[in-house]
Amino acid sequence: MSFSSLPTEIQSLLFLTFLTIYLVTLMGNCLIILVTLADPMLHNPMYFFLRNLSFLEIGFNLVIVPKILGTLLAQDTTISFLGCATQMYFFFFFGVAECFLLATMAYDRYVAICSPLHYPVIMNQRTRAKLAAASWFPGFPVATVQTTWLFSFPFCGTNKVNHFFCDSPPVLRLVCADTALFEIYAIVGTILVVMIPCLLILCSYTRIAAAILKIPSAKGKNKAFSTCSSHLLVVSLFYISLSLTYFRPKSNNSPEGKKLLSLSYTVVTPMLNHIIYSLRNNEVKNALSRTVCKALALRNCIP
């Protein structure tokens, strides 16, 4: 059903807004991937994980936004049974992967600040590849079990999904069977998927904060904090919107309110992530300048 209840003029405005956000997200994340690959100064673990995050955000957007744009532009609100299942599968996969990847990035910052001399040895190429694989892998079993189980139920009656994508709660309302066991699994699974990475992030930043407080100079403290401030902001945006969407009481969770909250982490946050990392990071800005200068064969580039 998406935003079909809104007037046509507002739907047209939403189409232009979402199209702009989508293009900015794709171009921004692709630019981060290209710059961090092209510039030797950014060939370190922090930017390796940032590339992974950019790949993930591109995939996350491809799952959700094109269907929204098609619905708003062509007023075609239909989606096939298989298409709905596929969209849900990849939504779970990328969502779970992002939770664990953000935790891995927090661990990377912990090692960089708390063990700077051992950082190149601990976070060597093999270790960071394993950490990246461990971040992506949990998405497969979670998405497979939840999507397969949900779509094995019988559906009857209305076939209207009151959302702008095939998320589990609105699709579950269309099931004509006892779903109590599935709902328990879904709640427990969501709590574990969200809370385990969140606790790892909190542990990492608790240790980071303790290490930063021991630094004697204010300049040293500011430099140490600046290396993880972008990640902290990204984590905050993602987890706040996710928690407000899935952990609010049902009595306070109207369908339209949930749609707006879902927009924040499915559409808006992927756009903000690369902006946060590029605008708040001098290394990325300098690398972008060097890459542009080399591409255009300009002189006086930043060394």
* Mean pLDDT confidence for 205-234: 81
C-alpha to C-alpha distance for 266 and 209, rounded to whole angstroms: 30
The C-alpha angle with vertex 293 and arms to 277 and 281, in degrees rounded to 5, equals 15
Question: Which of 225, 197, 198, 195 is CA-nearest to residue 209?
Answer: 225
* Mean pLDDT confidence for 54-66: 91
Give the pair of three-digit tokens for residue 274.
């690369």
Least confident stretch, 9-13, 73-77, 115-119, 194-198:
73-77
* Mean pLDDT confidence for 196-204: 91
Residue 299 confidence (pLDDT): 54
The C-alpha angle with vertex 70 and arms to 67 and 74, in degrees rounded to 5, equals 150
C-alpha to C-alpha distance for 121 and 66, rounded to whole angstroms: 42
**Do residues 269 and 249 lie in contact, with contact meaning Cβ atoms separated by under 8 Å?**
no
Average predicted confidence (pLDDT) for the chain: 84
> Which positions ≥6 away from 53 have C-beta within 8 Å?
98, 101, 102, 105, 273
Residue 126 confidence (pLDDT): 93
Side chain identity at 45, as an amino acid letter? P
* Mean pLDDT confidence for 22-26: 91
C-alpha to C-alpha distance for 94 and 277, rounded to whole angstroms: 20
* Mean pLDDT confidence for 170-199: 90
Give pLDDT tens digits for 138-183: 999 999 999 999 999 999 878 888 888 898 988 999 999 999 999 9
Residue 226 confidence (pLDDT): 75
Residue 295 confidence (pLDDT): 64
Tell me the Ramachandran region of residue 175: left when phi exceeds 0, alpha when psi lies from -120 to 50, beta otherwise.
Answer: beta
CATH architecture of the domain 8-291 equals Up-down Bundle (1.20)
* Mean pLDDT confidence for 21-43: 87
C-alpha to C-alpha distance for 158 and 148, rounded to whole angstroms: 21
The C-alpha angle with vertex 47 and arms to 109 and 267, in degrees rounded to 5, equals 95
**Do residues 268 and 21 lie in contact, with contact meaning Cβ atoms separated by under 8 Å?**
yes
Q: Is the predicted pLDDT of residue 137 greater than 90, yes or no?
A: yes
Report how far apart, in Å, the C-alpha atoms of 276 and of each of 160, 272, 301 are. Answer: 37, 6, 23
Give pLDDT tens digits for 245-268: 766 655 555 666 677 777 877 888
H or E segment and range at residue 108: helix 81-114
Instruction: Quote the DSSP letter at residue 31.
Output: H
Residue 274 confidence (pLDDT): 74
